[in-house]
């Protein structure tokens, strides 16, 4: 008597006997499969080669993507270093806000950048960066644990930018001393491109800018 073998049983048998095709090598040339690439019947060996080429192609694409990401990260690191160096080269404390915003704008190609500080020493009270800020804006800054990115919905901070009417998206970075609950300022980046600072973008790098800017500007506080 013979028993019917279904495809699963055959597959299990071949898995349990990995040397089957070594013992029956002649079958490799006789078994025919349909190639999705060539649209015709090919041998098992040819199909294995197709699968291997597909895997290699996927790996090459993945490697190219990793190299692209590495190159982008390297460029960002270089820009961040150049910006930090510009802060260190500021001649005195009063030059820091201008050096910070100007170099951030130029090095990172941000169309508009500005900032506002409060609770600063009296000697800095008459500067552009200490212009009047509403209590609501301060409360908003205090509530930011990470940078805000998104559309410009008539935020007060957008009005601090030179050409506020052209700003379609913006990033607002809270400035605070360490883990202090209250912020002492707000760094604002604006762009006419609605997608430049989108609500779903990662904010890790902006957080580093926020932390570095906070450390640099803390010397202006009273």
- Annotate the chain with three-state secondary structure: CCCCCCHHHHHHHHHHCCCHHHHCCHHHHHCEEECCCCCCEEEHHHHHHHHHHHHHHHHHHHHHHHHHHHHHHHHHHHHHHHHHHHHHCCCCHHHHHHHHHHHHHHHCCCCEEEEEECCECHHHCCCHHHCCCCHHHHHHHHHCCCCEEEECCCCHHHHHCCCHHHCCEEEEEEECCCCCCCCCEEEEEEECCCCCCCCCCCCHHHHHHHHHHHHHHHHHEC
What pTM value is reported for the model? 0.73
Going residue by residue through the chain (222 aa), what tens digit of pLDDT does each one get?
Answer: 455 678 888 888 888 888 887 777 777 667 666 676 666 666 666 777 788 888 999 999 989 888 888 888 899 999 999 999 999 999 888 899 999 999 999 999 999 999 999 999 999 999 999 999 999 999 999 999 999 999 999 999 999 999 999 999 999 999 999 989 999 999 999 999 999 999 999 999 999 999 999 999 999 998
């Amino acid at each position: 008597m013979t028993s019917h073998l279904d495809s699963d049983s055959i597959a299990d048998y071949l898995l349990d006997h990995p040397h089957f095709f070594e013992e029956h090598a002649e079958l490799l040339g006789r078994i025919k499969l349909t190639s999705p690439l060539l649209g015709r019947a090919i041998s098992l060996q040819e199909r294995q080669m197709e699968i291997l080429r597909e895997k290699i192609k996927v790996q090459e694409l993945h490697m190219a993507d990793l190299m692209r990401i590495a190159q982008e990260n390297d460029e960002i690191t270089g820009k961040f270093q150049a910006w930090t160096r510009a802060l260190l080269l500021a001649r005195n404390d009063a030059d820091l806000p201008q050096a910070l915003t100007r170099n951030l704008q130029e090095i990172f190609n941000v169309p508009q950048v500005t900032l506002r500080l409060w609770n600063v020493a009296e000697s800095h009270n008459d500067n552009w960066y200490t212009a009047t800020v509403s209590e609501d804006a301060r409360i908003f800054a205090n509530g930011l644990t990470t940078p805000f990115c998104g559309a410009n919905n008539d935020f007060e901070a957008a009005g601090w930018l030179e050409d506020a009417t052209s700003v379609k998206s913006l990033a607002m970075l809270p400035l605070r001393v360490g883990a202090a609950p209250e912020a002492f300022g707000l760094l604002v980046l604006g762009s006419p491109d609605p997608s430049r600072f989108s609500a779903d973008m990662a904010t890790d790098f902006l957080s580093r800018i926020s932390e570095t800017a906070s450390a640099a500007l803390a010397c202006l506080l009273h």
